[in-house]
């Protein structure tokens, strides 16, 4: 890719992200990179171009040809314009990937005494069917997998279970959420209460229920799936 093509790929990525309402940080997590990776690509030109696997994942997510993001169109077909070779833009077709690799974040959401937030750099990926995610109304770029620590959500969630967290911003409704409370990361059942209050509930009856003003509870995301050992 020449510098003009590099700039075009960066501008196209910004436009695609804005059109979907997805942050560059979330897209970086989608491809298993640290959260500043695509910001560096767009703003500082580092890396100069996207790696093939990253480009393919992003192109499949947006439903556009890889050539939009700096790669040759499928089959490597090029055309010539004013004496230089340019990728041919191929109309999008059935390019939705069968699987989505959701990043594992080593945050350790506590279902016990609580854990302090850690740096959100993926430590691996867990693969989900794109068809299943679509059926659940979930956007891969807004999902993360984290591990539960502690026993306060037993028997619903056990120590070591992995949970799929949807970070899409939605109005609060009853259910299990990952939250930050007093700078501590927790996984708890939430119920809206009267007067702008929210009930913070542990499914394990040995733990007390809390009630807090909604503005004191930072919603990280809603838990939409769990997995663990039998």
Determine the pLDDT at residue 122: 54
- Considering only residues 94 and 149, tell me which one the structure prediction assigns the higher pLDDT: 149
Burial class (CB in 10 A: 0-12, 13-18, 19+), 71: buried
Q: Partners of 189 in the beta sheet?
A: 176, 201
d(CA 89, CA 62): 15
Question: Is the pLDDT confidence value at 176 over 70?
Answer: yes
Neighbouring C-beta atoms of residue 98, cutoff 10 Å:
9
Domain spanning 99-227: CATH superfamily? Umud Fragment, subunit A (2.10.109.10)
pLDDT over 70 for what percent of the chain? Answer: 77
Number of residues in the chain: 230
DSSP 89: P
Burial class (CB in 10 A: 0-12, 13-18, 19+), 103: buried
pLDDT, tens only, 72-111: 544 433 333 333 333 333 333 333 467 888 888 766 555 5
**Contact in structure between 48 and 6 (CB atoms under 8 Å):** yes
- Residue the block writes with tokens 């959701």: 102
DSSP 49: S
153 falls in which pLDDT band (50, 70, 90)?
A: very high
Give domain limits for the chain. Answer: 3-87, 99-227
Q: Partners of 87 in the beta sheet?
A: 78
Q: Which of 17-21, 36-40, 110-114, 219-223 has the lowest mean pLDDT?
A: 110-114
- Residue the block writes with tokens 């299943």: 132
Q: What class has domain 3-87?
A: mainly alpha
Determine the pLDDT at residue 69: 86
d(CA 113, CA 155): 17
Closest Cα to residue 187, out of 170, 208, 168, 203?
203
């Amino acid at each position: 890719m020449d510098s003009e093509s590099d700039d075009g790929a960066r501008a196209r990525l910004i436009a695609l992200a804005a059109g979907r309402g997805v942050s560059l940080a979330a897209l970086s997590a989608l491809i298993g990179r640290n959260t500043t990776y695509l910001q560096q690509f767009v703003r500082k030109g580092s890396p100069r171009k996207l790696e093939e696997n990253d480009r393919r994942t992003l192109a499949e997510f947006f439903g556009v040809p890889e050539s939009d993001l700096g790669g040759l169109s499928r089959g490597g077909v090029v055309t010539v314009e004013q004496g230089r070779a340019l990728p041919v833009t191929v109309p999008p077709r059935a390019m939705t990937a069968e699987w989505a690799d959701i990043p594992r974040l080593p945050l350790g959401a506590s279902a016990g005494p609580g854990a302090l937030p850690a740096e959100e750099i993926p430590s691996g990926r867990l693969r989900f069917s794109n068809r299943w995610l679509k059926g659940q109304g979930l956007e891969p770029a807004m999902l993360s997998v984290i591990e539960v620590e502690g026993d306060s959500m037993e028997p619903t969630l056990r120590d070591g279970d992995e949970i799929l967290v949807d970070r899409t911003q939605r109005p609060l409704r009853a259910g299990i959420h990952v939250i930050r409370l007093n700078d501590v990361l927790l996984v708890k059942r939430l119920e809206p209460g009267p007067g702008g209050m929210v009930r913070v509930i542990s499914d394990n009856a040995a733990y007390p229920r809390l009630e807090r003003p909604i503005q004191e509870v930072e919603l990280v995301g809603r838990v939409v799936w769990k997995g663990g050992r039998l």
